[in-house]
C-alpha cells in the first residue's frame, strides 16, 4: 500500500497522459473484437469529434489543478475532512477515500445535472452521442468540465483526501469511464456480477438510452453502490436500447461541433414524452429499486 501512495504522490503528468491515451487505445481495440452494438458508423470521424471534447476537458482540469492541489494539501495538513474523524488502516483509508470522491465528485454532480435544467443543458452534449463507445467517456462540454472540476475540489474538501489519493482516484476514474462506455460485449452473467461492485458496460449503456426514465438512472462512475443505495439502479436488455436523447436526434444537432458547443445557450427543450408512456420496446424498465423520474 505504501508503494501505491508513493507512486501516486509524485505521478508524472506523462504517466497520467499515458493512462488516458492507453485506455482509449485498449478499449478501442477490444471494441473491434467483441462489439456490443453492430450498428455501422464513421468510427474515426466520431472519435475525432469526441477527442476534441477530451482535449478541452484536459485543459480545464489543468486550469483547476493548482486549486485542487492547494485544497488537498490544506486538508491533509490540517487533518480536515471525513477521513480524519477516526484512525483506520491504510487500505480502509484508501477505500473510503475513493468511495467519497466517487460519491461527491462523480455521482452527485451527475445526478444534479439531470435534475437542474441549466446544468442539464451542458450535460446534454454527452447524451447526444448516438454511437456510444469508449471515446464517449470524455465527451463533455467545456462548461460541464468546469462544474465537474468544482465538484471534485468539493469532494476533496469534504473528504480530506491527500493529493496521492486524488491522483489515484482520477486515474481509476479515467479507466473505468472508458471501460463502461466502451462498445464491448461481455458475457451477460459476467457483466451482471461486475455490476454489483463497479459500473459495467451494460449497466452504463442503460443510462444512454434516448428516453426517460432510463436516461435518469445509473449515474455511477466507478462504484455501482451509489445507484443501488439511492434507488437509481436500472437494468435493460442492451438490444432494446437506442442511444442519444430524444430532443436532439437529428445528426445536424448531435454530430456537428459548432452546434454542440452552442446547445447550452439555446432554448431549453422538454422531452415530448416526459412520463415515458410511449410504445418503444425499451419503455418497460427493470429496476432493483422504486422507479425514479
Domain membership of residue 292 (yes or no) is no
Q: Where are the beta strands (DSSP E) in 130-197?
A: none
Residues present in the chain in total: 293
The confidence score (pLDDT) of residue 136 equals 97
Q: Is residue 203 one of the residues assigned to a domain?
A: yes
Closest CA to 54 of 127, 139, 169, 130: 139
Contact indicator for 8, 171 with CB cutoff of 8 Å? yes
- pTM, to two decimals: 0.89
Decide if 13 is inside a domain: yes
Domains identified in the chain, total number: 1
Give the Cα-Cα-Cα angle 37, 40, 45 (nearest 5 degrees): 110
**pLDDT digits 0-9 by tens, 222-281:** 999 999 999 999 999 999 999 999 999 999 999 999 999 999 999 888 775 433 333 333
Domain membership of residue 55 as a residue range: 2-287
Least confident of 109-118, 185-194, 203-212, 282-291: 282-291
Whether 184 is in a domain gets the answer yes
Task: State whether the Cα torsion 259-264-267-271 is positive or negative.
Answer: positive
Asked whether residue 293 is domain-assigned, the answer is no
Amino acid at each position: 500500500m505504501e508503494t501505491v501512495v508513493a507512486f501516486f504522490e509524485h505521478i508524472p503528468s506523462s504517466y497520467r497522459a499515458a493512462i488516458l491515451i492507453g485506455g482509449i487505445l485498449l478499449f478501442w481495440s477490444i471494441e473491434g473484437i467483441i462489439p456490443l452494438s453492430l450498428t455501422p458508423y464513421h468510427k474515426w470521424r466520431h472519435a475525432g469529434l469526441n477527442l476534441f471534447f477530451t482535449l478541452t476537458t484536459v485543459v480545464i482540469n489543468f486550469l483547476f489543478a493548482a486549486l485542487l492541489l492547494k485544497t488537498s494539501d490544506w486538508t491533509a495538513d490540517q487533518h480536515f475532512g471525513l477521513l480524519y474523524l477516526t484512525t483506520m488502516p491504510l487500505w480502509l483509508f484508501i477505500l473510503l477515500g475513493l468511495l467519497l470522491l466517487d460519491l461527491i465528485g462523480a455521482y452527485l454532480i451527475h445526478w444534479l445535472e439531470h435534475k437542474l435544467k441549466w446544468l442539464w443543458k451542458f450535460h446534454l452534449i454527452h447524451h447526444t452521442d448516438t454511437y456510444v463507445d469508449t471515446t464517449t467517456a470524455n465527451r463533455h462540454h467545456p462548461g460541464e468540465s468546469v462544474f465537474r472540476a468544482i465538484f471534485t475540489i468539493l469532494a476533496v474538501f469534504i473528504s480530506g483526501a491527500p493529493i496521492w489519493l486524488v491522483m489515484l482516484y482520477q486515474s481509476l476514474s479515467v479507466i473505468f469511464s472508458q471501460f463502461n462506455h466502451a462498445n464491448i460485449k461481455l458475457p451477460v452473467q459476467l457483466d451482471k456480477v461486475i455490476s454489483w461492485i463497479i459500473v459495467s458496460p451494460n449497466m452504463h449503456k442503460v443510462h444512454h438510452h434516448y428516453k426517460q426514465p432510463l436516461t435518469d438512472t445509473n449515474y455511477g462512475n466507478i462504484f455501482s453502490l451509489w445507484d443501488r443505495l439511492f434507488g437509481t439502479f436500472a437494468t435493460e436488455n442492451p438490444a432494446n436500447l437506442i442511444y442519444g436523447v430524444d430532443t436532439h436526434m437529428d445528426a445536424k444537432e448531435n454530430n456537428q461541433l459548432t452546434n454542440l458547443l452552442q446547445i447550452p445557450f439555446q432554448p431549453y427543450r422538454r422531452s415530448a414524452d416526459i412520463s415515458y408512456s410511449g410504445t418503444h420496446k425499451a419503455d418497460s424498465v427493470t429496476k432493483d429499486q422504486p422507479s425514479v423520474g
